[in-house]
Amino acid sequence: MNCEELRSDYAAWAMGTAEDPERSEITAHLERDCDVCVPGVRSALATVTSMSLAVRQVDPPRRLRKRILALVMPEPGKSWFSFWLPWAVSAAFALALLIVVIPRAATPPAAHPGETAYKEVIDILNDPLTKDAAFGEPAARGRFFVSPSKGVVFIAAHLPTLDPGRTFEMWVIPDGGKPIPAGTFHALPDSTAVYFHQGPVSAAAMAISVEPDGGSPQPTTTPIIVTKL
C-alpha cells in the first residue's frame, strides 16, 4: 500500500487499534524511515499522547517512588534481585534461589554467583531480540522475558500456595513441539517468584505447572500459566 492509502490509518496505528493489512503496512513504512509516514505517525502519536492529559489524575502511593528508585539505587546489603525486581523482597532467599537455579556448568567457577547471575539477567533484559510476554489472573500475574540466545527470566506475583512436596516447573514450548523442562523453583513467602533459566531457548510459548518436588520430564498437571510469545 502506498503512503496516501495509509494516511487515514495513522491515528488508529498510534492508538494501537489499527488492523492488518494497514497495521503491518504502516509498520513496514516506519521501518524503512518513510519520509511521509514517519512524520504522519509522529503527529498522530503526539495527539494520542496529549489525550493522557485528559485522564483524571490520581496520586500514586508514596511507596511507588521508593519501589522504582530501588530498581536503580540498591541499598547496601541487598542483592541484585531487589535491585531489579522488587517483587523479590527477600534478598537472601532470592540469592539462594538464584544459586540453586543456575546450572552449575553455566556458572564460571571464579565468579561470585550473585554477580554472575546479575550480568546474565541484565544481558537478557537488554538483548534487543528478547521478547516479553505478560500473563494475568487468575493463577498469578507477571511476565516472561525470553532471549533466544541467552535464556529466560520469569517474574511473578500472586502465585498459588503449593502443597508440601510440590514445586513449580517452567516449560519451554517450541513451535509444534513438546514442552521442554526448564527447571523448578519455589515462590517466596509473599507468593512472588523470580526465576532465571540460562541457555539458548527456542520457544513459541512458555508455561508453568505444579509438579512433584524434583520436577517432571513432562507436565503431569494442567499448567497454571501458559503464555504465547
Partner 1 sequence: MHAAPAFSPPLVLVLTSHPYPFSSQQRYHLQSADRMILPALILALELSGEHDEELALRLRRKEPQAMADLYDRFGRLAYSVILAVVRDASLAEDLVQETFLRVWNRAHAFEPGRGALGPWLLTIARNRAIDHIRSVGSRMQRNSSEFDAREHPSLFVDMERDVLNNDHARIIRLAMAKLNENQRKVIELAYYEGLSQTEMADRMDQPLGTIKTWVRGALKVLRAELGQEAAA
Amino acid of residue 44? A
**Cα first-last separation, the chain:** 28
149-168: contacts with partner 1 (CB under 8 A): 157
Query: Which residue, 42 or 103, is less far from partner 1 as judged by CB?
Result: 42
Q: How far is the CB of 122 from partner 1 (least distance, A)?
A: 9
DSSP 111: S
Cis peptide before 21 (omega within 30 of 0): yes
Residue 54's CB: how many other CB atoms inside 10 A? Answer: 6
Asked if 61 is part of the footprint of partner 1 (rule: CB under 8 A), the reply reads yes
Least distance in Å: CB of 110 to partner 1?
26
Cα separation of 98 and 80, whole Å? 10
Binding-residue pattern over the window 105 to 134 for partner 1, x denoting contact by CB under 8 A: --------------------xx----xxxx
Counting contacts by CB under 8 A, is residue 60 touching partner 1?
Answer: yes
Cα 168 from Cα 193, distance rounded (Å): 10
Query: Would you tell me which residues interact with partner 1 (CB under 8 A)?
Result: 7-19, 23, 27, 30-31, 33, 38-61, 63-65, 67-69, 71-73, 84, 86, 125-126, 131-137, 141, 143, 157, 227-229
